[in-house]
Amino acid sequence: MHSNIVEIDATLSLAELTATVQALCDEVETHRATGAVVLRLTSGGDAPQWPGDVTVSAVNRWERAVRRLEKLDAITVAVAAETCAGPALDLLLATDFRIAASGLRLALPVNDGHFWPGMTLYRLVRHLGAQRARQIVMWGTDIPLGRAVGLGLIDESADSVVEALATATALTGRLSNRETALRRQLIAEAVTAEYEEALGLHLAACDRELRRLRAAAAGRAAAEPAGSTAAELSEAVA
């Protein structure tokens, strides 16, 4: 399994960023790539005000593009460095795995002392719980790398972007895209679903996994030479 690295320049306009993310989703869905989709997020220096002078319709199109990325049948990995702000932070929180280069800080979307009420706020609550999210949103201070790792907003840290990209490729090579998407869904639904409701969903996923494992075992057995067992093959080689 290989990864597809896509650079996302967070200094682009909201319309350009929306088009970039939609095009990426089109590419993944059309070709059903089997590798991880690695987003290399670049924000430049100081964090600008987000989202700037735009319409709420433009914000809606952006949020729908990010949600589409979040629900892809593909493993998504974000690699961030320096300042992760605005759209880069939106995308970071929407990915499955997040890796940061040394020195990263998460710059929260605060305009004139007020936290931007977009879906980053929603994702912070889903990731951290209401209490921790409240502390972050009400104080509105940037989050350094060490604290971001402690909060679980960053999964791995690396000395450089090059090392972070290598880590992203290595860590995601063992997972199946569709199975990862299914587990992502189960995790999200576990936050609000009652046990009995969740049980049916998990049993359906278990049934799917058992069938997948049987099919894989049957495929391995069919690949063995006729009339030979694994033990017989080992003895023959010895």
C-alpha 154 chain-centroid distance: 11
CA distance 225 to 233: 9
Q: What mean pLDDT value characterizes the chain?
A: 83
Q: What is the pLDDT of residues 43-60, one digit of tens each?
A: 766 666 789 889 999 999
CA gap 45, 167 in Å, rounded: 24
The answer to whether the CB of 201 falls within 8 A of the CB of 189 is yes
Predicted local distance difference test score (pLDDT) of residue 238: 45
Q: What confidence category does residue 171 fall into, taking pLDDT thresholds of 50, 70 and 90?
A: low
**Mean pLDDT, range 82-97, rounded to an integer:** 93
Return the H-helix or E-strand segment holding 98.
Answer: strand 97-101
- Count of CA atoms in the C-beta half-sphere (13 A) of 213: 6
* Residues 6 or more apart in contact with residue 65 via CB below 8 angstroms: 17, 18, 21, 22, 25
Give the least confident one: 75-84, 138-147, 158-167.
158-167
What's the number of CA atoms in the CB half-sphere (13 Å) around residue 150? Answer: 6
What would the mean pLDDT of 114-120 be, rounded to a whole number?
90
More confident call, 174 vs 222: 222
* Spatial distance between the Cα atoms of 66 and 52, rounded to a whole number of angstroms: 18
Higher pLDDT, 97 or 231: 97
Give the model's pLDDT for residue 212: 80
Residue 162 pLDDT greater than 90, yes or no: no
Assess whether pLDDT exceeds 60 at residue 228: no
CATH fold, domain 4-175, is 2-enoyl-CoA Hydratase; Chain A, domain 1 (3.90.226)
CA–CA separation, 141 and 169 (whole Å): 31
What distance in Å separates the CA atoms of residue 24 and residue 167, rounded to the nearest whole number?
22
pLDDT given at position 88: 94
Is the pLDDT at 89 greater than 90, yes or no? yes
- What ranges do the domains of the chain cover? 4-175, 193-237
pTM here is 0.78
